[in-house]
Structure 1
Amino acid sequence: MAIKLENVGIAVRGLDETISFFTDLGLELVVRDTICGDWADTALGLDGNHAKIAMLQTPDGHGQIELFEYLHPEAIGSDPALPNEIGMHRVAFSVDDIDIALEIAARHNYHPLRGVATYQDVYKLTYLRGPSGIIVMLAQALKKD
């Protein structure tokens, strides 16, 4: 059986703000839509599901994230996850220049949780808390293949 990753879905508080952040980092907006109806209720197991969505992809076309902002039922807020909590809590991106990526993040008022680290002379990387508390990992390869 063949399998491939289609996308990672992330519920957000403000779709426009989140799209702005990720497109400034370099992702491309593929589609925006509003979903609702029996098919959405069935697929998600959530009655009355109504959400605004946006699909973004990396410029190489290999990675996609689907952002969704619930209109109904009301979104349930929670404290942002910590890096060591069980469950899904971050999205990671390779960047050509981590300093430029951090300048872009700072324009949106998002900054590293602690700082930028070097992992075994392979990556320069950091975690930052982005829109809706999403933890975003940015990593720059230090050695070119």
Structure 2
Amino acid sequence: MPIKLENVGIAVRDLEEAIAFFTDLGLTVLGRDTVSGEWADTAVGLDGNHAKIAVLQTPDGRGQLELFEYIHPAAIDTHPTLPNEIGMHRVAFSVDDIDASLEIAAKHGCRPLRGVATYGDIYKLTYVRGPSGIIVMFAQELKKSTGN
């Protein structure tokens, strides 16, 4: 059976703040909606499910994020995850210029967890604490691979 990744869904405290962060990084908003009703309750498994959503796409057209801000039931604020916690870990992006990406993140008050690391002579990478505590990884390839 073929399977295809459709999107990664992330609940956020403030939908507009999250949209601003990700669109500044280069993603585009494909659509926005408010969802509720029996179908939403059934699909998500929450009674009275009511949320504002936005679907964003990466510039290459291959990746999508679905961001949602809960109206009902009330969102449950938790401590931001740590890199070694079990569960949803992070969203990762390949970037052409890690320094430029970090400048954009900084405009939104988002900073690396520790700094920028170099993995061999292959990547520069960092984890940034994004809006709503989301861990966002930036990876800049240092040299293009010669294989296929």
| TM-score, with structure 1 as normaliser | 0.98
Correspondence list, 1:32-71, <5 A: 32-71=32-71
Alpha-carbon shift at residue 144 of structure 1 (Å) = 1.9
Runs of 5+ consecutive residues of structure 1 not aligned to the other structure: none
User: How many angstroms apart in 2 are the aligned matches of 1:82 and 1:12?
Assistant: 17
* RMSD, matched Cα: 0.6
Q: Percent identity?
A: 77
Q: Secondary structure at the match of 1:101?
A: helix
**Within 1, Cα distance between the matches of 2:61 and 2:2?**
19
The whole-number CA distance in structure 2 between the counterparts of 1:22 and 1:4 is 23
Length, aligned pairs only: 145
Counterparts of 2:70 and 2:126, CA distance in 1: 29
What pairs with 1:64-83 in structure 2 (closer than 5 Å)? Answer: 64-83=64-83
What is the distance in 1 between the residues matched to 2:44 and 2:113? 33
Amino acid at match of 1:101: S
Q: Structure 2: 5+ residue runs without aligned partners?
A: none
Aligned structure 1 segments of 4 or more residues deviating by more than 2 angstroms: none
User: By how many angstroms is 1:120 displaced?
Assistant: 1.6
Q: CA deviation at 1:89?
A: 2.3
Aligned residue identity for 1:67: L
SS of equivalent residue, structure 1 residue 35: strand
Partner secondary structure for residue 56 of structure 1 = strand
Partner of 1:86: 86
Which residue number in structure 1 is paired with residue 11 of structure 2? Answer: 11
